[in-house]
């Protein structure tokens, strides 16, 4: 039986250049590339997610891209299973992305949580103030989440209702060991905010607004990906008349806020940014040497 493949994780905040470097590494090291981005899993969302182009996807095998419709869920467990499937089929696996829940689920697995309950979730979604409810049933999780992060707030309430225990307690009991066959590199840069602004401008030129309009027509404004920071303000522009320039300003602002959270989270994991050349050398040591 063949040995399972090696894994190198290339993480970092959004707009740091992970996709470009990841593609170069995957090509040069003959690795399969698994996207650790919570938005690229959705079909039809290409521009607003900065998804690799069809040409780039043809250059190396990709996983976790275009694997869900806008109405379907994709969980941390789904992501970890995709990485394990790639590892079973290929000797070298390169995980590229910056979604904290995905990366933590891979290198520091959390406790197993129950699957979604659509009826219960609909009931919780209808709450006028789900954060106030969460503060009652799971104060540590409420303190960790942003008040506007309704998706994760509702999920935490759902877990508490289904298990009878707060999510924070379940996570505290979960395994926290980093597998020895996973190496991690962290990419960052000083001009991140400027790069985010330029990315937003390029997205507009590539059809950002039209893409959002098509997704709205297909799935409606309650679709989970359209409530993300990448699309919610463009949805407000289309449905509520928010000025487009203001919608783009808010999108850039929220993207920058997310990038800062990614930086903080990466440091909390003990991952320090490294120069590009050092990351290339680290990936080669992890996957080839």
CATH code of 70's domain: 3.40.50.300
Looking at the structure, tell me whether residues 140 and 160 fall in a common domain. yes
123 vs 125: CA distance, rounded Å? 5
**Considering the domain boundaries, does residue 1 fall inside one?**
no
**Considering the domain boundaries, does residue 156 fall inside one?**
yes
DSSP assignment, residue 14? T
To the nearest 10°, report the CA torsion of 145, 148, 149, 154: 100
pLDDT at 146: 78
Which pTM does this prediction carry?
0.79
**Considering the domain boundaries, does residue 165 fall inside one?**
yes
Looking at the structure, tell me whether residues 167 and 196 fall in a common domain. no
pLDDT at 82: 93
Looking at the structure, tell me whether residues 198 and 213 fall in a common domain. yes
**Considering the domain boundaries, does residue 126 fall inside one?**
yes
Looking at the structure, tell me whether residues 247 and 281 fall in a common domain. no
pLDDT at 172: 62
The pairing of beta strand 92-96 with beta strand 182-186: unpaired
Single out the residue of 109, 105, 111, 167 nearest to residue 140, CA to CA: 167
For the chain (length 289 residues), average pLDDT per consecutive 10? 80 96 96 96 96 94 96 87 92 96 83 81 92 92 84 90 86 51 93 97 97 96 93 97 97 96 94 96 94
136 vs 12: CA distance, rounded Å? 34
Domain count, the chain: 3
277 vs 282: CA distance, rounded Å? 9
pLDDT at 144: 79
Please give the residue range of the domain that contains residue 252. Answer: 192-261
Looking at the structure, tell me whether residues 200 and 230 fall in a common domain. yes
- Only one residue has tokens 């679709």, namely 223
**Considering the domain boundaries, does residue 216 fall inside one?**
yes
Looking at the structure, tell me whether residues 24 and 99 fall in a common domain. yes
Looking at the structure, tell me whether residues 185 and 74 fall in a common domain. yes
CATH code of 225's domain: 1.10.287
Q: How far is CA 172 from CA 108, 110, 140, 165, in A?
A: 12, 8, 11, 12
Looking at the structure, tell me whether residues 77 and 182 fall in a common domain. yes
pLDDT at 136: 93
CATH code of 126's domain: 1.10.20.140
Looking at the structure, tell me whether residues 80 and 181 fall in a common domain. yes
**Considering the domain boundaries, does residue 226 fall inside one?**
yes
Task: Tell me the backbone φ, ψ of residue 96, rounded to 5 degrees.
Answer: -125, 120
**Considering the domain boundaries, does residue 240 fall inside one?**
yes
pLDDT at 112: 66
């Amino acid at each position: 039986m063949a040995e399972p493949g090696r894994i190198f994780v290339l993480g970092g905040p959004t707009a740091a250049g992970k996709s470009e470097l990841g593609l170069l590494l995957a090509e040069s090291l003959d690795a399969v590339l698994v996207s650790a981005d919570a938005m690229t899993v959705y079909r039809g969302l290409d521009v607003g997610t900065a998804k690799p182009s069809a040409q780039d996807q043809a250059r190396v095998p990709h996983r976790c891209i275009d694997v869900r419709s806008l109405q379907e869920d994709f969980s941390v467990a789904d992501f970890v299973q995709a990485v394990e499937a790639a590892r079973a089929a290929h000797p070298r696996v390169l995980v590229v992305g910056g979604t904290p829940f995905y990366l933590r689920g891979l290198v520091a697995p959390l406790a197993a949580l129950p699957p979604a309950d659509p009826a219960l979730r609909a009931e919780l979604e209808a709450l006028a103030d789900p954060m106030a409810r969460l503060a009652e049933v799971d104060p540590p999780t409420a303190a960790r989440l942003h008040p506007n992060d309704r998706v994760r707030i509702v999920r935490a309430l759902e877990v508490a209702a289904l298990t009878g225990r707060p999510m924070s307690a379940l996570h505290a009991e979960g395994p926290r060991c980093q597998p020895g066959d996973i190496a991690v590199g962290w990419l960052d840069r000083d001009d991140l905010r400027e790069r985010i602004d330029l990315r937003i401008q390029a997205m507009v030129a590539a059809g950002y607004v039209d893409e959002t309009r098509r997704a709205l027509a297909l799935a409606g404004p309650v679709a989970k990906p359209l409530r993300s920071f990448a699309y919610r303000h463009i949805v407000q522009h289309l449905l509520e008349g928010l000025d487009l320039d203001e919608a783009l300003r808010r999108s850039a602002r929220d993207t920058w806020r997310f990038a800062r959270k990614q930086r903080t989270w990466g440091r909390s994991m003990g991952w320090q940014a490294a120069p590009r050349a050092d990351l290339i050398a680290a990936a080669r040591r992890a996957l080839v040497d």
